[in-house]
Chains A and B, each alone.
Chain A
Amino acid sequence: MKSNRRAIFGTITAGALAFGLAACGGGDSGGGEGISGELTASGASFPDAFYAAAIDAYAEVNPDLVLTYNAVGSGTGKSEFGEGINDFAGTDSPVGDDEGIEPGSYQYIPTVAAPITVSYNLPGVEELQLGQETLAQIFQGDITSWNDAAIAADNEGAELPDIDITIAHRSDGSGTTSNFTTFLDEATDSWTLGSGDTVEWPANAVGGEKNTGVAQAIQDTEGAIGYVDLADANASGLVTASIENADGNFTQPTLEGTTAGLEGAVVNDDLSYNPLNATGPDAYPITAPTYLIIRTDYEDADVAAGVKEFLTWLLTDGQELAAENDFAPLPDGLRQRALEALDETITD
């Protein structure tokens, strides 16, 4: 969907861009105080629940600025951004070289973060602790039974049944998979499957469509273990494992643990950051960041003003909506940096 299509349909894209901007400026009532218009965004499905709630709430703050966010996936969102179809895009992963977006033409704005839970279905086992190496060996199929010595070593005194392990993973390409495998890749020595939106899972694995599909697969498979976002794990009533963090403590996937992880994360100059396996005694180690990417140069001033208006709200009042949707708000330091970056990118 990238460069080739752009080359072939260059003119069509240009037309769509012009049309999009014209449509965006359509509802302009003269700038100044009341910013109005229509903004289109698309991208990551992972933060969709939060963005949907935020857009709903924002409609009451400023009903004249109408926003739509299509959860089409990070990859599609980025390519639409490159083609000028959307006004800003949501992504869980940094922009790559082959994704059709010019370097320097965009700015990351981190919005929220969320833990990726390791949920399991093992009747009678209510608490489970997993070390990082154990986790890697389970998910690459080296450990195939729940009563394996390595799992027992992490859970002293627990009674683990002799049931086959079934790995539940995303069958669709997913930023969640990317973050989860990146964690295993960076944090452990034993992980050999690499990282990416889709990786080569072992034979004792079963795929589910989206987070809901994985949650469903865990629910209806005895002995299953899989990675699911917190919102879906809670909605499906899944049992989550405590995961060993960088400090050697076992922590549950909670919003507090996630924010603790964000505080320990190193933030790059372009505001991309990696909260995986961050230090801190309470930090939950598998945390997925998510960003909105905005243009450094909007052709239409009204669109630019609208984007700035909404994102400023999202990073201030909008942050309060995060927790009730199972997302962790940004820690204050990172939030301030995001606001500053927004100010610098879109100057009035």
Chain B
Amino acid sequence: MRAGGVFGRSTTETGVTILTATASSRAPDDLDLGGDSRARATDRGFRGLVTFAGLTVLIVLGLILITTTLRALPAVREEGVIGFVAGTRWAPNDDVFGTFVMLHGTLVTSLIGMVIAVPVSIGIALFVAEVAHRRARKYIVTVIDLLATVPSVVFGLVGVLVVVPAITPAYQWFADSVASVPGLNAVFGTANTGRNYFTAGLVLAVMIIPIITSISREVFATVPEADKQAAYALGATRWEMIKGAMLPHSFGGLVGASMLGLGRAMGETIAVALVVGGSFHISANLFAPGNTMAAAIAQQWGESSGLHTDALVGIGVILFAITVLINFLARWVVRRAEIQMKGARS
């Protein structure tokens, strides 16, 4: 959505403004040609209908927020808001519900996913936009879009049945290699199992690459040809052109694309549930099993009752709040980037 706003503005610069203007100046003409009040009534009816449709989303969103919050209250009251959000002990059989472990897991796995996926995606997008042969481009785009249609449970199954057994020795080798490096040995510690934060991050990376790539590609497509040619005219190499003309122009859109990927990564449930390890312990070690908010809800929902269920709903509320927060943050980054860009241009 944020990225959409960006292309909106970017495409405006490339001539869509004129199209929009024509369209809006033609609309009243059409009505006048119709000439009767029936057309106006239809127009008003349409307006009402569309407004209602728009409001429905807000109403549904609001109702979800209200009902889930109300449902979560008993558990939150038991712990206190701070205890519920910042508590590190999750023990449903003791009625102790601290959700920070899962917040930590969600942030860590999403971050690993982003660190891997963003550079790769932007690389693919640049390759498709600037380097690949026109005919190859079509196939690459199709393959990447296909990747986006694979259901997440399939990624999860591949993760747990193929990636986990295959990658565990690699984790162990890496952990042994950095065992004597201070700092690194805490982050890449013992890997007794392949079901851990890092594997979850890897699976998430593969899952969000298509979405980030396809939006980045469209963002790059909005870079005015004139800017690129100007860079070449000044004697820039291809890389200098990308660095000087394309990246600054696309920065806002790339942030938007990455944030959409981050949103997907944070909310991803089943694939993560299968590979993250289902452990409720905070560890700096990325090779240790952990858990995320969405995964924990899915895992524990079936056999939960009473306060435990309420607490799981509460995790949902926190996840919702964080997603909204990240969306706003992304908007802010995009807006700032654009202001800077415009400032530079004038």
A interface bracket (residues with beta carbon within 8 Å of B): 35 or more
Q: Is A198 within 8 A of B273, CB to CB?
A: no
Cβ-based interface call for B327 (8 A) = no
Cβ-based interface call for B278 (8 A) = yes
Cβ-based interface call for A204 (8 A) = yes
Q: Is B302 within 8 A of A73, CB to CB?
A: yes
Question: Given A194-B94, A209-B274: A173 and B289 within 8 A (CB)?
Answer: no
Question: Given A205-B279, A206-B279: A198 and B92 within 8 A (CB)?
Answer: yes
Cβ-based interface call for B48 (8 A) = no
CA distance A97 to B192 in the complex (A): 40
Cβ-based interface call for B280 (8 A) = yes
CA distance A99 to B307 in the complex (A): 11
Determine the chain B residues whose CB is within 8 A of the CB of A197 once the complex forms.
92-93, 303-304
Nearest CB in chain A to that of B274: its residue: A209
Determine the chain A residues whose CB is within 8 A of the CB of B195 once the complex forms.
206-208, 217
Cβ-based interface call for A296 (8 A) = no
Shortest beta-carbon distance from A108 to chain B in Å: 18
Shortest beta-carbon distance from B195 to chain A in Å: 5
Q: Is B303 within 8 A of A203, CB to CB?
A: no
Cβ-based interface call for A172 (8 A) = yes
Considering the complex, which residues of chain B in the window 160-205 have a beta carbon less than 8 Å from any beta carbon of chain A? 160-161, 164-165, 168, 190, 192-195
Cβ-based interface call for A166 (8 A) = yes
Nearest CB in chain A to that of B94: its residue: A194
CA distance A198 to B278 in the complex (A): 11
Cβ-based interface call for B300 (8 A) = yes
Determine the chain A residues whose CB is within 8 A of the CB of B280 once the complex forms.
200-201
Q: Is A198 within 8 A of B303, CB to CB?
A: yes
Contact of A166 among B193, B278, B305 (CB under 8 A): B193
In the assembled complex, 21 residue pairs joining A and B whose CB atoms fall closer than 8 Å, in A order, are A1-B304, A1-B309, A75-B303, A76-B303, A172-B302, A173-B303, A173-B304, A175-B303, A196-B92, A196-B93, A198-B308, A199-B93, A200-B90, A200-B91, A204-B192, A206-B278, A207-B289, A207-B299, A213-B274, A220-B164, A223-B192
Considering the complex, which residues of chain B in the window 135-167 have a beta carbon less than 8 Å from any beta carbon of chain A? 160-161, 164-165
Closest 10 CB pairs of A and B: A207-B278, A171-B278, A196-B93, A173-B303, A73-B302, A75-B303, A200-B91, A220-B165, A197-B303, A98-B306
User: Of residues A98, A202, A203, which shows the largest number of chain B Cβ atoms within 10 Å of its Cβ?
Assistant: A203
Shortest beta-carbon distance from B160 to chain A in Å: 7
Nearest CB in chain B to that of A45: its residue: B302
Determine the chain A residues whose CB is within 8 A of the CB of B288 once the complex forms.
203
Cβ-based interface call for B252 (8 A) = no
CA distance A206 to B197 in the complex (A): 12
User: Of residues B288, B291, B302, which shows the largest number of chain A Cβ atoms within 10 Å of its Cβ?
Assistant: B302
Determine the chain A residues whose CB is within 8 A of the CB of B278 once the complex forms.
169, 171, 206-209
Residues of chain A having any CB pair with chain B under 8 Å = 1-2, 4, 72-76, 79, 96, 98-99, 164, 166, 169, 171-175, 181, 194-209, 213, 216-217, 220-221, 223-224
Shortest beta-carbon distance from B17 to chain A in Å: 50
User: Of residues B90, B91, B193, B289, which shows the largest number of chain A Cβ atoms within 10 Å of its Cβ?
Assistant: B193
Known contacts A2-B309, A75-B303, A205-B289; can you find 18 more A-B pairs with CB under 8 A?
Answer: A1-B309, A72-B302, A73-B303, A79-B305, A166-B192, A171-B291, A172-B300, A196-B93, A197-B93, A197-B303, A199-B91, A200-B280, A205-B279, A206-B193, A206-B279, A207-B195, A209-B299, A213-B274
Determine the chain A residues whose CB is within 8 A of the CB of B192 once the complex forms.
164, 166, 204, 206, 221, 223
Q: Is B309 within 8 A of A171, CB to CB?
A: no
CA distance A166 to B195 in the complex (A): 12
CA distance A79 to B309 in the complex (A): 12
Nearest CB in chain B to that of A72: its residue: B302
Q: Is A198 within 8 A of B309, CB to CB?
A: no
Nearest CB in chain A to that of B303: its residue: A173
Q: Is A220 within 8 A of B194, CB to CB?
A: yes
Cβ-based interface call for B104 (8 A) = no
Cβ-based interface call for B228 (8 A) = no
CA distance A305 to B253 in the complex (A): 66
Determine the chain A residues whose CB is within 8 A of the CB of B193 once the complex forms.
166, 206, 217, 221, 224
Determine the chain B residues whose CB is within 8 A of the CB of A99 once the complex forms.
305
CA distance A204 to B309 in the complex (A): 26
Determine the chain B residues whose CB is within 8 A of the CB of A201 once the complex forms.
279-280
Map CB proximity to A onto B91-129 as digits: 1 under 8 Å, 0 otherwise: 111100000000000000000000000000000000000
Shortest beta-carbon distance from A111 to chain B in Å: 19
CA distance A175 to B280 in the complex (A): 19
CA distance A194 to B95 in the complex (A): 12
CA distance A75 to B92 in the complex (A): 14
Shortest beta-carbon distance from A61 to chain B in Å: 31
